Structure formats: C-alpha cells, structure tokens
Structure 1
Amino acid sequence: MDKVAVYPGSFDPITNGHLDIIERSAKIFDRVIVGVLENPEKKNPLFSIEERVGLITKVTSHLKNVEVESFRGLLIHYMHSKGAKVIIKGLRAVSDFEYEFQMALMNSKLDDNIETLFMMTNSKYSYLSSSAVKQVAMYGGCIRELVPEEIIPDIIAKFKRNHLKK
C-alpha cells in the first residue's frame, strides 16, 4: 500500500520554502499531493486557483511522485478521497505552530486515523511567506532566491497586468 501524504495550502504564490517542504516530503512518501486549497478567508488572491496549480506543477515537474490538484471544503474529506493518511505542514516559527497545532487537533477530532506531520523549514527560508513575496514584487523588489526561478516572470507579469488595470 502506498504511503500518501497531502501538503495543503493556498500557495499564492509558491515560495522556495514551500518547494523545500515538497522536495523533502517526496523523499519520505510514495506519493505527495500538493492540495491547493480554495480558502474563502483569503480574499483577492494574486493568482487564480488554476494559475497556482499551473505554477506548482511547473516547479515540481522534476518530482515524479508529486501531484498537484486544487480542492475546496474540508481537508479531511479531501484526504479520504485520495486515500491519504498524512497531512504535511511546514513550520517557520513558534507562531506558526500555535495555529497549525489547533488545526491538527481539529483534523484529529474529525478523523483520528489521519496524522499531521510538522516539518521545520530550512533556516534560510524561516522569514519567507507568500505575503512577503507579493509585497516585495508589488514594489519592484528582487524576488530572486525567494521563489523558484522559473516562475519569477509569471509573478512580475501578474503585477504588471494588475497595475495596468488600475
């Protein structure tokens, strides 16, 4: 039986920190599904759900056991539909742990057969978030080393298009 894990998130956009967690998870599990979640709490995403799936697919194409899909609704329901038993969550700091620990407890309450695996980020990415990347890019700062090289043009183009619309 395959060991299947899901790495859920909004990934708007995917960062080098996210990619690091995906690559490390791919070494541990037979299959890793990057679940791009439609999060109603996050208003006005920079990239559409389809664009985010496309960007992540582009930067994970070298990982043969990684799949990328979008989903909506409860993560536990998505886990059941995929036959997955492990949720992967990346942690940057203690502040991340508090929120993620609450979510892990709730998911355990919903299904105690599903485990949450917390992975510490590589220290060189401990400050990195999608929000920080968007802010730097919005003001024309350098996002090299923050996101995978191959999606830098996509991010810059998105901000240029959004700026022209205003």
Structure 2
Amino acid sequence: MLHRPVGDPRSSRAVYPGTFDPFTDGHRDLVDRARRLFEHVTVLVAVNDEKRPTKSGAERALDLRGALPADWENVTVAAWSGLTVAYCQQHGAGVIIRGLRNAVDAVRENQLAAMNETLGIATLFMPARPELATISSTVVRAAATWPH
C-alpha cells in the first residue's frame, strides 16, 4: 500500500525498469496494465554493460518505444545507467513496478524492494499472466539464435 499524501505528484508516477534485451510480450503486458493504474509510466531501460546486452541502452530504448502503441501517451521510455531509485527521485516517481513470473523472481525482487523502500521508493509487484509466465528475454534471445 502506498503511504503518500493525497495530491503528492509522485504517487501518480511509476517506473518500470529492466534490461529489456529484448522487450517481450510479457513486458508489454505489464506496461499496458501499469499505464492503466498510474497517470504516467516510464519504462526505464537499464544501461548495464556487465549483462552484455545485444544493443546499447539508447538502441534498446528506441526499439522499445517503437514497439509500444502510439496512443499510449502516458508511457515514456528512457535509458538510464544509474540506480533506479535515483531516477525515481530525480523525476518525481514514487513507485517502481516489477513483474513476477515465479517464486524465484519473488525472492530476488523482494530483496531489491526492501532496499528501495529504505531509500523512500515503494515497489508494486505485478504477477505475470499465466500464459506469459514462461517468457523471458533470455529464452527469447536463445530461441532467436537457435539453428532452425
């Protein structure tokens, strides 16, 4: 539950961070659901070279924006190389959105959420729809490179 005063502009802004390498149907579904809950959602493309992404953060952000419907006017896409909490604080977002596919995700994400909460940013967990729960960027990348 959010404990923000009524009228606090941060309560209406959310950030959905991820590597999005690539952006999957599961990611798209989560953005669609989040944009209906918040006045504004920023899809934050993590710039983390340690994960060895297939494209730069700027390229992934551009691809992702092109994959979203033009009429999703309350959704923006940005590339970011710092902590998600720092982005939230600098841009007035009070909530981080995280998708959960399974119990392993829940354990990992709960640890991150606890840290972010100590820094003043709440986390909203959204379960994956059952038909999308097995989709991951890793699986999509592997399928794309698998010999046919």
Q: Which one has the largest radius of gyration? A: 1
Alignment of 1:1-166 (within 5 A): 2=9, 3-42=12-51, 44-60=52-68, 61-111=70-120, 114-140=121-147
User: Which 4+ residue blocks in structure 1 deviate beyond 3 angstroms?
Assistant: none
Conserved? CA contact 2:23–2:64, under 8 Å: yes
Residue-by-residue CA offset, 1:74-96 (whole Å, 9 max, x unaligned):
11111011100010000000100
SS in 2 for 1:116: strand
Give the distance between the partners of 2:61 and 2:49, measured in 1 at CA. Answer: 17
How many angstroms does 1:40 deviate by?
4.1
Gaps of 5+ in 1: 142-166
Secondary structure of 2:22's match?
coil
Size of the aligned set, in residue pairs, is: 138
Q: Distance in 2 between the 1:52 and 1:140 partners? A: 24
User: What one-letter code is carried by the residue in structure 2 that aligns with 1:30?
Assistant: E
1:38 to partner: Cα distance: 1.1
CA distance in 2, matches of 1:46, 1:140: 18
**SS of the counterpart of 1:84?**
coil
Show structure 2 runs of 5+ residues with no match.
1-6
Q: Percent identity?
A: 39
TM-score norm. by structure 2 comes to 0.88
